[in-house]
Amino acid sequence: MTMMERLTMFSLDRPKTVLGIAVLVTVLFATQFPKVETDTDPENMLDATQEDRVYYDELKEEFGIRDMLVVGIVDEQGIFRAEALTPIARAIQEIVKVRGVVIEDIVSLTTTNNVKSGGGLLEIRPPLTGTPTTEEAFAQIRADIAENPFLHEKIASADGTAVAIYVPIQAKDMSYRVSNEIQAILDRELLPRQEYHLAGLPVAEDTFGHEMFVQMAVVAPITFMVVLILAFLLFRTGIFLLPLALTAMFAVLWTMGLLIGTGNTLHIMSSMIPVFLMPIAILDAVHILSEFFDKYRERGEVRPAIMEAMKPLYRPMFMTSLTSGIGFASLALADIPPVRVFGLFVAFGIAAAWILSITLVPAAISLTSEERLRKAILSRKTDEGSAFDRVLRPLGRFTYARAHVVILVAIGAIAFGVMGLMRIEINDNPVKWFRPRHPLRVADRVLNEAFGGTYMADIVLESDRADGIKDPAVLTYLAGAQAHLESHATVGKTSSVADIVKRIHLVLRDNDPAYDTIPETAGAVGQFLFLFESSGGPGDLARFLNADGDKAHVWVQMKAGDNSLMQEVVAHLDAYVVANPLPDGVSLHWSGMTYINMIWQGLMVSGMLKAVLGSFAVVFILMLVEFRSLFLALLSMIPLTLAILLSYGLIGWAGKEYDMPIAVCSSLALGLAIDFAIHFLHRFRERLDESGDLEDACDHMFGEPARAISRNAVIVSLGFLPLVLSTLTPYVTVGLFFAMLMAFSTAATLALLPSLLKAVGGRIYRRKTMKPTAATIGLLLLGAFLTAAPFDAHAADISADEIMTKSHDAFYYAADDMKTKVTMSLIDDGGSTRERVLTLLRIDATEGADQKYFVYFHRPGDVRDMTFMVWKRAGAADDRWLFIPAVDLIRRISADDKRSSFVGSDFTYEDVSGRAPSEDTHTVVRGETVDGRDAHVVESVPKEGVDFTRKLTWVDAETFLPLKEEYYDAQEELARVFTADKIETVDGVPTVVERTMANVKAGHRTEVVYAEIEYDGGLEDGDFSERNMRKPPRGWTR
């Protein structure tokens, strides 16, 4: 008695024990379900160590690249009107409050600076500030955007009917929640006629993850019901539904529980496991029940009928489960981690279904009362003469009598399939995972028509020397490469440091088109970049040029995200590089999300080919071992080969692209398509051994064996069809493909195999079997292949307003004038440091109010001798001037925003010159001790909107110097922290000589050290003039 027979006997002897064990194991696996986590990030289609993914991770870290949602707002009556822009501006103000949004990186009409000039004035501000009231003002905004290549067709469409908001998020898995919150804001703020759309790969991927769960909850139960209904219709009795249901349900729960319990995330691939397993899991059970149905009629007793029914099935069921399992497990050879997980766990599910079939199914039958069995089976008519029989019997006679015709048709089908296979094009796009009318597909079409593109890719130009990118020759090459890229129809827009330099050059020369170029010297480039960095945020330039100046990032916007188009764009740039070689010491690298998608798609294709060939070889070796006949092993592979060729051929003829679902199907097909051939050949050879008559064996096969195969074929084929109801196209594709595959596999098994057996005639009688040693060698081949005491602030009799006024005066207005040497260290989130050395002069024009500043730069070399002058005016905009020695120009800079970055650091101009206490409402919160100093903790809330919603200040109770400040943003999250790191008394004045401002969210910080401090040195108001910007008195800068 074999082990399988013992298992069946045990199940018949102790059916309740078997059922109890199965339920207990199921409960244990089900307890893992609450731990489930989804993952739809295409980056995870690559191993964490894969070189393109590693490079992309480094790129994101170095340039602060974020996943981005693109929000498009369309108003057919035109955007540039007060009625249209006011609600859009309100919406942007609300979007910045959404948790997970990276506020400082939002690109929009109200948050992104435009640099322009006129009349000697350099203006640096967003296109939309406040609400314009005249048509001329709106026309000017539109013109400003149109003539700035950084903004044109990025934040506004060329026809003026749409604007875009680029919303960076902290992590991909936030995109679904963030997009829903943004939609709620837009529903609330926009006009009824204004339409909005959300696009971008992150929202598509995360939305897919959400809908994936919904589809599992809907399609899996439908599949389950369809399978049971089909079983009821085919057996014409409901008595077999329980064992089928338990087998399918338990196999799915065991597999998903193990997948989740072992720490694997639920990917698009693994989300398909329940729907895949349900039809597959009952294949063996249907064979057992179909055979039992006939044997019970003969014997009239459960136990002998089950044992007789299962005896001829043990071997073929084991082999079909083994080959199906190996077909799926062969996916472990793929280079895509989620595919490997999917294949291995489906293989586990098939093994679980086999164990349940030979144990749970007999147990469930034995628990059924004899009366119910007799009523359900014995009272029924025999299957002889049934609908199946009326089709199968004539089919058997035809295939035997007209074997040559069937074989010729099969050859024609193979040729048809091969020709179709040659027409298949490899391509994928995650946005196309949704049906054409899905909002994301609609948004994709609308926004890519209106703007530069919602699909992002990245290029890095890397020099082998520090500041090599600032070489005018390198920047000129970069500008030419960008122009060539934009000549490709798919590329809508590119942005880089070259665009920044050209823009600054142009506006400094009062928009003379002759200066829309890269300047001739590296010094001019460095000073132009310093001007840009000084006028924006500390991260504005860092997104395009790294701290060492040896890497430049190019942001490529594409109007389509198909992998085939990405390949075209890469080839388009390659052609330019061949015709125009890169400058010496400069290399070029592609990266970005759309590029990564192209990489994993390529690996998917090669990986699937490797998996298919490997699986084909393993299945053939198994057939060789099983049948011990080279002829039968080859014969068993023919239906499989024909089914796969025909299925993929039809895909090619239909114009369907070879995408991720189709690629996965290629390997899964091997395990399923050979199932019926194994059963057919096993049963055929047994009958032939008994009768010795080839025709009799063929005729026998089209009785019960063919009925069992047909029942399985109907259940599996139609069992996959509920996937067609899905709103997600990968599920639809898989459902149709496998229904088609199983139909072709069944046809090839039932029509072609008998014809081939007839054609070879007497060879089958001799059954040239392999010797045991040969079988052992086959197995060896297979094995080789697989191998302190608190301070009470309220005790002091002083109000919050008094505290903050005293602090303001102590920090910003100490003495009448001041001169100091300043070392400013700008430290990014990776620890790289850029150092600036400068001389700072200050004079108080009015006590506690107006001040004047000079900043003379000494290092780094490319900004040496640049001079910055500020006239601070209380209650009004500052006046600012900049001297640029490389082009010998002084330009007055319009400066409405005191909260912008001070010379590219984490400090703002307001941090340096002071924010008037009257601009905020102050409240004493508590008293604390900070580093041994008693401090008042004061909360300050701005009376008008700025970039922070509240600030906590720890004010030294003795000196009234600020010891620490915490700034909270619109999301009520800590954004920046100021600390007074060292306080000394200089000329009798308590002074913060070392201070730090840290951007908590971005991870960078600025450390400042004041040295050679001199108070009341005799500076005069008249000294702060344009005359002293070019040539400061020698004593000032020594």
pLDDT tens per residue across span 1012-1025: 999 998 898 888 98
**Nearest one of 189, 179, 150 to 69, comparing CA atoms:** 179
**CA 380, chain centre distance (Å):** 56
pLDDT of residue 1038: 63
pLDDT of residue 735: 83
Average pLDDT over residues 190-201: 92
Q: Determine the Cα–Cα distance for residues 175 and 183; give it in Å rounded to an integer.
A: 12
Average pLDDT over residues 355-362: 93
- From 208, 223, 238, give the residue that closes a domain: 223
From residue 340, alpha-carbon distances to 231, 270, 332, 661 in Å are: 32, 10, 4, 14
**Nearest one of 951, 953, 1012, 963 to 992, comparing CA atoms:** 963
Question: CA Rg, the chain, in Å?
Answer: 38
Is 282 part of a structural domain of the chain? no
Residues 391 and 517 in one domain: no
Is 923 part of a structural domain of the chain? yes
**Residue 763: which pLDDT band, with cuts at 50, 70 and 90?**
low
Q: Determine the Cα–Cα distance for residues 936 and 994; give it in Å rounded to an integer.
A: 21
CATH number of the domain at 867, please: 2.50.20.10
**CA 925, chain centre distance (Å):** 44
H-run or E-run covering 429: none
Sole residue written with tokens 């139909």: 743
pLDDT of residue 956: 95
pLDDT of residue 420: 93
In this predicted structure, the answer to whether residue 199 has a pLDDT above a threshold of 60 is yes
H-run or E-run covering 444: helix 439-450
Residues 949 and 816 in one domain: yes
**Nearest one of 674, 551, 690, 559 to 623, comparing CA atoms:** 674
**CA 289, chain centre distance (Å):** 45
- What does the DSSP 8-state code read for residue 901? B
pLDDT of residue 724: 85
- b/e burial code for range 226-240 (CB count within 10 A of at least 16 → b): bbbebbeebbebebb
Q: Using N-to-C axis directions, what is the helix angle for 241-261 and 337-366, rounded to 10°?
A: 150
Q: Degrees (nearest 5) of the Cα angle 1004, 1005, 1008?
A: 160
In this predicted structure, the answer to whether residue 380 has a pLDDT above a threshold of 70 is no
775: left (phi over 0), alpha (psi -120 to 50) or beta: alpha
**Nearest one of 82, 67, 69, 145 to 112, comparing CA atoms:** 145
Residues 417 and 529 in one domain: no
pLDDT of residue 135: 86
CATH number of the domain at 558, please: 3.30.70.1320
Helix (H, G, I), strand (E, B) or coil at 911: helix
Is 416 part of a structural domain of the chain? yes
In this predicted structure, the answer to whether residue 385 has a pLDDT above a threshold of 60 is no
Q: Determine the Cα–Cα distance for residues 857 and 608; give it in Å rounded to an integer.
A: 60
| Alpha-helix runs per DSSP H in 123-200 | 135-146, 175-189
DSSP string, 685-727: HHHHHHH--HHHHHHHHTTHHHHHHHHHHHHHHHHHGGGGG-S
Beta bridge partner(s), residue 995: 980, 1008
Q: What percent of the chain has pLDDT over 70?
A: 93
Q: Using N-to-C axis directions, what is the helix angle for 283-299 and 241-261, rounded to 10°?
A: 150
Is 52 part of a structural domain of the chain? no
887 or 585, higher pLDDT: 585
The pLDDT tens digits for 934-988 are 999 999 999 987 889 999 999 999 999 999 999 999 989 999 999 999 999 999 9
In this predicted structure, the answer to whether residue 315 has a pLDDT above a threshold of 80 is yes
Asked if residues 144 and 114 have their Cβ atoms less than 8 Å apart, the reply is yes
In 865-1004, at which residue ranges do the beta strands (DSSP E only) sit?
A: 867-872, 878-884, 889-895, 920-930, 933-942, 950-956, 962-968, 974-986, 989-999
From residue 549, alpha-carbon distances to 544, 555, 591, 669, 884 in Å are: 10, 17, 19, 52, 20
pLDDT of residue 319: 85
- What does the DSSP 8-state code read for residue 378? I
- From 204, 223, 242, give the residue that closes a domain: 223
pLDDT of residue 765: 41
pLDDT of residue 42: 72
Average pLDDT over residues 625-642: 83
H-run or E-run covering 575: helix 563-579
Q: Determine the Cα–Cα distance for residues 935 and 51; give it in Å rounded to an integer.
A: 52
**CA 69, chain centre distance (Å):** 12
Backbone angles phi, psi at 386, to 5 degrees: -75, 175
pLDDT of residue 766: 46
Asked if residues 625 and 783 have their Cβ atoms less than 8 Å apart, the reply is no
In 586-664, at which residue ranges do the beta strands (DSSP E only) sit?
A: 586-591
**CA 392, chain centre distance (Å):** 50
673: left (phi over 0), alpha (psi -120 to 50) or beta: alpha
Is 964 part of a structural domain of the chain? yes
Within a 10 A sphere around the Cβ of 203, how many other Cβ atoms? 28
- b/e burial code for range 563-579 (CB count within 10 A of at least 16 → b): bbbbbebeebbeeeeee
pLDDT of residue 795: 43
Residues 457 and 410 in one domain: no
**Residue 537: which pLDDT band, with cuts at 50, 70 and 90?**
low
Beta bridge partner(s), residue 154: none
- b/e burial code for range 842-876 (CB count within 10 A of at least 16 → b): bbbeeeeebbbbbbbbbeeebbebbbbbbbbeeee
Contacts of 1021-1026 with C-beta under 8 Å, sequence gap 24+, read 1021/843, 1021/845, 1021/852, 1023/843, 1024/841, 1024/843, 1024/852, 1024/853, 1024/854, 1024/869, 1024/871, 1026/869, 1026/881, 1026/890
CATH number of the domain at 712, please: 1.20.1640.10
Is 439 part of a structural domain of the chain? no
Residues 799 and 929 in one domain: yes
Q: Domain total for the chain?
A: 4
Q: Determine the Cα–Cα distance for residues 998 and 1016; give it in Å rounded to an integer.
A: 31
Within a 10 A sphere around the Cβ of 1010, how many other Cβ atoms? 19
In this predicted structure, the answer to whether residue 384 has a pLDDT above a threshold of 60 is no
Sole residue written with tokens 């040539």: 1031
Q: What percent of the chain has pLDDT over 90?
A: 43
Q: Determine the Cα–Cα distance for residues 447 and 437; give it in Å rounded to an integer.
A: 15
Average pLDDT over residues 876-900: 81
Residues 746 and 800 in one domain: no
892 CB-contact burial (10 Å; exposed 0-12 / middle 13-18 / buried 19+): middle
Residues 395 and 483 in one domain: no
pLDDT of residue 515: 92
**CA 218, chain centre distance (Å):** 24
pLDDT of residue 188: 95
Helix (H, G, I), strand (E, B) or coil at 881: strand
Average pLDDT over residues 693-700: 86
Average pLDDT over residues 877-881: 84
Residues 846 and 973 in one domain: yes
Residues 835 and 747 in one domain: no
Residues 217 and 83 in one domain: yes
Backbone angles phi, psi at 770, to 5 degrees: -75, 145
Average pLDDT over residues 712-716: 80
Q: Determine the Cα–Cα distance for residues 667 and 612; give it in Å rounded to an integer.
A: 5
Q: What is the pTM of this model?
A: 0.81
In this predicted structure, the answer to whether residue 777 has a pLDDT above a threshold of 70 is no
H-run or E-run covering 74: strand 67-74
191 CB-contact burial (10 Å; exposed 0-12 / middle 13-18 / buried 19+): middle
In this predicted structure, the answer to whether residue 381 has a pLDDT above a threshold of 70 is no
| Alpha-helix runs per DSSP H in 14-81 | 15-30, 51-63
Q: Determine the Cα–Cα distance for residues 287 and 710; give it in Å rounded to an integer.
A: 10
Is 136 part of a structural domain of the chain? yes
Residues 685 and 575 in one domain: no
Lowest mean pLDDT among 379-388, 429-438, 548-557, 731-740: 379-388
Would you say the C-alpha torsion 936, 941, 946, 947 has a positive or negative sign? positive
In this predicted structure, the answer to whether residue 149 has a pLDDT above a threshold of 90 is no
In this predicted structure, the answer to whether residue 808 has a pLDDT above a threshold of 80 is yes
CA atoms within 13 A on the CB side of 593: 24
Q: Determine the Cα–Cα distance for residues 137 and 155; give it in Å rounded to an integer.
A: 18
Beta bridge partner(s), residue 219: none
In this predicted structure, the answer to whether residue 741 has a pLDDT above a threshold of 90 is no
Residues 544 and 637 in one domain: no
pLDDT of residue 789: 45
Q: Degrees (nearest 5) of the Cα angle 489, 492, 497?
A: 130
Cis amide bond preceding 860, omega within 30: yes
**Nearest one of 78, 90, 79, 84 to 188, comparing CA atoms:** 90
Backbone angles phi, psi at 497, to 5 degrees: -65, -30
Domain ranges, residue 855: 793-1037
- From 164, 189, 223, give the residue that closes a domain: 223
**Residue 320: which pLDDT band, with cuts at 50, 70 and 90?**
confident
Is 50 part of a structural domain of the chain? no
pLDDT of residue 784: 52
Q: Which two tokens stand for residue 546?
A: 């790294």
Asked if residues 937 and 793 have their Cβ atoms less than 8 Å apart, the reply is yes
Q: Determine the Cα–Cα distance for residues 957 and 934; give it in Å rounded to an integer.
A: 6
Q: Which two tokens stand for residue 1030?
A: 């070019």
Q: Mean pLDDT for the chain?
A: 86
Q: Determine the Cα–Cα distance for residues 310 and 303; give it in Å rounded to an integer.
A: 11
